[in-house]
Amino acid sequence: MRKYRNSLFLLFPVLFLAACATSGNALHPVAMAGKFGYINQSGKVVIQPQFEDAADFANDLAPVKMGGKWGYIDTAGKIAITPQFDLADPFADNGLALVGLGGKLGYLKKTGQYAVNPTYDGAGRFGDHLAPVAMNNQWGYINEKGAVAINSQFATAGNFSEGLAAVRVGNAEGYIDKSGKMAITPQFQLAGDFHDGHAAVKIGNVYGFIGRDGKLTIQPQFDGAGDFRDGLAVVAVGGRFGFIDTKGRFEINPRFERARAFDHGLAQVWMNGQEAYVNKSGKVVWNQTA
């Protein structure tokens, strides 16, 4: 239905459109007996499981699926925007969320009204007031009013973060600045978003991290790597996932079958085929058998 750029492709197929959490409330989606609800940072269920699917809170709202459609709830679990979309992303810091309807993508305000009508075949999340969209089979960027900010010219385009966005030119990925000028020459097989001054990149068959100057900050050595969040990044080694700090040192050793980025002190992980949440010490605060 869509083309959607998300940096978690570096690790594994996207678990959900909103696989990278944005800033927001410290509530986390969990699955229990086939339904989704939310826990707080201590692992206590605060919104009872009742949804077909659910994603992260951001700006006091979270996407949930009911009756086969996506809408939004508030932090009390009440419907804030009626389920009506084929897909929905958490709200970005600018108060706009990527949504899909009828095979097209657009952007929604927190009022439930469109800021940019669903007209795009491909799109990404707003960052630094710009969003990547697919136009005429190429990717460019629009501003919050839907006006073209950077002409479509790239094979793929990522989300802006810390003033840079990953784009593909030919067979390699590099980074542009907000003017559309190339800031880091395309040279990577894959490139993620910048967070905490670092971005995951693939060089050869392994992943490492670069700084905003394009120089390596953590040597390529991992089987997969995701964005830094809360000072830690999820990486894969030997088919297992753990978390490193910005020096490349393991803070949580690779022991998980799958893992997502940290958000407000917790990370979603899978162990023995079951979902769980761990804190930054690696301690389990919630699991499906709790």
Task: Identify the pLDDT of residue 3.
Answer: 44
Is residue 15's pLDDT more than 50?
Answer: no
Q: Which amino acid is at 108?
A: L
Task: Identify the pLDDT of residue 10.
Answer: 42
Contact 32, 288 (CB under 8 A): yes
Q: What pLDDT digit, counting tens, does each position of 161-175 carry?
A: 999 999 999 999 999
Q: What pLDDT digit, counting tens, does each position of 199-253 carry?
A: 999 999 999 999 999 999 999 999 999 999 999 999 999 999 999 999 999 999 9
Over the range 62-97, which residues count as b (16 or more CB within 10 Å of their CB) and which as e?
bbbbbeebbbbbebebeebbebebbbbbbbbebbbb
Is residue 57's pLDDT more than 90?
Answer: yes
* 30 vs 11 pLDDT, higher one: 30
Over the range 9-46, which residues count as b (16 or more CB within 10 Å of their CB) and which as e?
ebbbeeebbbbbbbebbebbbbeeeeebbbbbeebeee
The predicted model scores a pTM of: 0.90
Is residue 8's pLDDT more than 60?
Answer: no
Give the span between the Cα atoms of 245 and 252, in whole angstroms: 9
